A and B are shown apart, each in its own frame.
Chain A
Amino acid sequence: MRAHIRTASALFLTATVATVGCSVDATPSVDSPPSVNSSAIPVITKPEDRPLPAEAYVLTNREEDTFARARHVLITRCMAGFGFRYDPPPKPGFRPRNRTQYRYGVSDPKVTAMHGFAPPGSPRGGKPERETPSLPARMSLVLSGTDDPKVMPGSVEAKGGQRINGRTVPNGGCFGRAMDALKARDGDGGGDAELARRITARSFDRSRRDPRVQEVFTRWSRCMRDRGFSYADPVAASNDPAWRTPTPSATERRAATADAVCKRQENVIGVWWTVEAAYQQREIDRHRGELADIRTTIDERQRLAKAAVAGR
């Protein structure tokens, strides 16, 4: 069965690659669909185990956590210097393990049978956990470097210079100072670089519209229709407004399970991931230098963050 699917995909991909260059799209060849090795389409049932090439240039959850922890440690030390106790922010709670885990929607029929389209552990109808109060004015000034609501707190425009508890507030306050120490002041705020986000955004859009992926969507749609559901692609199924309920309905659980089953039957994720990876790799090859700089920046901030937490 599995071998059969792989062969079908491979044959189809070969045919598409052969025809695509000379028809349909009038855009320059530089933006034509990148070729993929159609004999090596992997069967993918656990997308979280398959990072895409551009993930090397965005933060992992672990890197994000390391940076966030260092930011908090540095702010806390600075605030203590002014005689203030600064409490940690609420925990993030649910989030995808990585960029591919839910990138293509649901993938595991055992999970969807219980949870529908929402990932297990996501606060679908859960209680908000963000009830921490705002800081008193003087503390807020030390943290942000400004009391002007029009100025971005912690930025270079947040001038500082005020005297609080016998000390002078630094430019950008304790937040700005922590971000300086982590070489992440203003700009991206220590988050993902614009180019890296642009590459992952475009690769998703382009791959979703790619003829090879569209073809596998057609077969997925047919499989879904056999189970009583009519959607153009998995994104449409996942975003059906009918699923806006505090808990998954029986219909949602059936639809999500049909989605996961049909994805496996047609190896939708294998084809989609392979095509998307090809789009990303082409962009990575075009931007080698800038991306190397982005990676260097991430590594440098991680080094500084680990040193800050260790008290060095």
Chain B
Amino acid sequence: MKKKLRLLALGISGMTAMGMTLAGVPASAAPKAVTTGGCQDKHICLYYNSDLKGAMFQHRYNISNYAGYVFTASDAGSAGAGQPVKNNVASADNADAGNGIRIYVNSNYVGDWDGVPPWTWRNLDVAKNNNASGKWDH
């Protein structure tokens, strides 16, 4: 809960910094994202906010520990830019047609995971703000 509030605060300050106003943009009314927002072929794109919004980090190969990586502003927004990727991912877009990917809650592909099938996006549940490693799968 505390984490959510902190993230919300960051999101709001990010949006304010961009000169956007919150008026008339209730989060619950946000349409389901269907755009890929510039995720490159064969990459997994990890977003700071739900519904593929905010700053993004993409990778093509397995990452056994997300520590040390940071989000950068994307077509979908800048909220979270500069924040660490580890334990801060809310949604993921798999731009690979052939392989799914598992986002694990611990480093070295250990613990429970959220699977993201090929050419599918989803809001994370298991690994939401709790992502430590990512490995390609079927």
- Within 8 Å CB of B122, what residues of A? 188-189, 191, 194
Min Cβ gap B70→A in Å is: 15
Our pick among B65, B100, B109, B120 for the contact of A68 (Cβ within 8 Å) is: B100
Whether the Cβ atoms of A119 and B117 lie closer than 8 Å is: no
B67 at the interface (CB under 8 A from A): yes
Given contacts A72-B98, A197-B114, contact A118 B106 (CB under 8 A): no
Given contacts A94-B135, A149-B36, contact A119 B98 (CB under 8 A): no
Whether the Cβ atoms of A194 and B125 lie closer than 8 Å is: yes
Q: List 14 A-B contacts (CB under 8 A).
A: A96-B110, A117-B110, A122-B109, A122-B135, A130-B61, A149-B36, A151-B34, A154-B97, A189-B119, A192-B115, A194-B125, A201-B125, A238-B108, A238-B110
Our pick among B36, B116, B136 for the contact of A92 (Cβ within 8 Å) is: B136
Min Cβ gap B69→A in Å is: 12
Whether the Cβ atoms of B112 and A201 lie closer than 8 Å is: yes
Our pick among A118, A153, A190, A197 for the contact of B108 (Cβ within 8 Å) is: A118
Q: Tell me the complex Cα distance, A189–B62, Å.
A: 21
Whether the Cβ atoms of A188 and B117 lie closer than 8 Å is: yes
Q: Tell me the complex Cα distance, A241–B107, Å.
A: 9
Q: Contact string, B55-77, partner A, CB cutoff 8 A, digits 1/0?
A: 00000111011010000000000
Closest Cβ neighbor of B96 among chain A residues:
A89
Whether the Cβ atoms of B117 and A124 lie closer than 8 Å is: no
Our pick among B38, B108, B132 for the contact of A119 (Cβ within 8 Å) is: B108
Interface magnitude class on chain A: 35 or more
Min Cβ gap B74→A in Å is: 13
Q: Kindly list 11 other residue pairs between chains A and B, CB separation below 8 angstroms, not including A72-B98, A153-B119.
A: A68-B100, A89-B99, A94-B135, A95-B109, A102-B106, A117-B108, A175-B119, A197-B125, A235-B106, A239-B132, A243-B107
Whether the Cβ atoms of A152 and B138 lie closer than 8 Å is: no
Residue of B38, B61, B99, B118 with most chain A CB atoms under a 10 A cut-off: B118
Q: Contact string, A8-37, partner B, CB cutoff 8 A, digits 1/0?
A: 000000000000000000000000000000
A299 at the interface (CB under 8 A from B): no
Within 8 A of B (CB), among A60-112: 64-65, 68, 71-72, 88-90, 92-96, 99, 102-103, 105
Q: Tell me the complex Cα distance, A217–B118, Å.
A: 38
Whether the Cβ atoms of B36 and A152 lie closer than 8 Å is: yes
Min Cβ gap A100→B in Å is: 9
Q: Tell me the complex Cα distance, A122–B62, Å.
A: 10
Q: Tell me the complex Cα distance, A152–B117, Å.
A: 13
Residue of B67, B97, B117, B121 with most chain A CB atoms under a 10 A cut-off: B97
Whether the Cβ atoms of A238 and B107 lie closer than 8 Å is: yes
Whether the Cβ atoms of A92 and B106 lie closer than 8 Å is: no
- Within 8 Å CB of A171, what residues of B? none
Min Cβ gap B63→A in Å is: 10
Min Cβ gap A215→B in Å is: 21
Min Cβ gap B55→A in Å is: 18
Q: Tell me the complex Cα distance, A144–B114, Å.
A: 24
Min Cβ gap B52→A in Å is: 10
Whether the Cβ atoms of A152 and B35 lie closer than 8 Å is: yes
Given contacts A123-B62, A155-B34, contact A88 B108 (CB under 8 A): no
